[in-house]
Amino acid sequence: MDFSSKFGAIRFIGYAIPTGPVQPTGMIGIGDYLGNSDNQVDFSARLAILKNAVDTAKAALPLNEDPSTVLNVFMAPEFYFHGSIGPYVYEDEQSDPLPNFIEQIKTAFNPSDYPNWMFVCGTLVSAKVANLSNVFNSASVKARNTVINTLTEQLQSAWGANYELISGTIRSFIQGCQD
């Protein structure tokens, strides 16, 4: 889409907010995602926070500016919309939250309220998992958790070259588990 014929300028507005797991002990690889275990409650709260950020940015724009001459592109961070365990997990097609979430985003950012705005709402991560308990109780997940817990315990007392070696091992192990 060619915006140059409609707008004389494009303004990029970035929303910087941490989206990774909280690491209360400061240990790499150990932490929990903040959020509500109810997907809908979590999503609605994140959307309300995002809308507040957008409206705060909108209120800070120059008062004497002709809004029809500037396209405002608001960008949320990667992994902004996620559940308390990472993805918004659902069991079957009927419980897929994505269609509902998209409608809520459209309602929150109605084009008539934001006529010269474009939104990049960050990543929305979801996963269809038939039985989440089976995943968490699988031998491979238990083994991986044991390895990570052991390495992070060692990391707490390490320093210097050993600290670098163990933290690098943790990063490599996590990356290997994702491949």
Whether the per-residue pLDDT at 157 is higher than 90: the answer is no
> Do 124 and 150 reside in the same domain of the chain?
no
Beta strand spans in the chain (E): 9-14, 70-75, 88-90, 117-120, 126-128
State the average pLDDT over residues 49-56: 98
Domain count along the chain: 2
Q: What is the pTM of this model?
A: 0.79
pLDDT for res 175: 85
Distance of alpha carbon 35 from alpha carbon 22, whole angstroms? 11
Distance of alpha carbon 13 from alpha carbon 125, whole angstroms? 22
pLDDT for res 179: 67
pLDDT for res 33: 85
Digit-coded pLDDT (tens) for 124-148: 989 999 998 898 899 999 999 899 8
Please, which residues have CB within 8 angstroms of residue 104's CB and are 6 or more apart in sequence? 43, 44, 47
What SS3 class is residue 13? strand
pLDDT for res 48: 98
| CA angle centred on 20, ends 15 and 21, rounded to 5° | 140
- Asked if residue 2 is part of any domain, the answer here is no
> Do 124 and 37 reside in the same domain of the chain?
yes
> Do 142 and 128 reside in the same domain of the chain?
no
> Do 103 and 157 reside in the same domain of the chain?
no
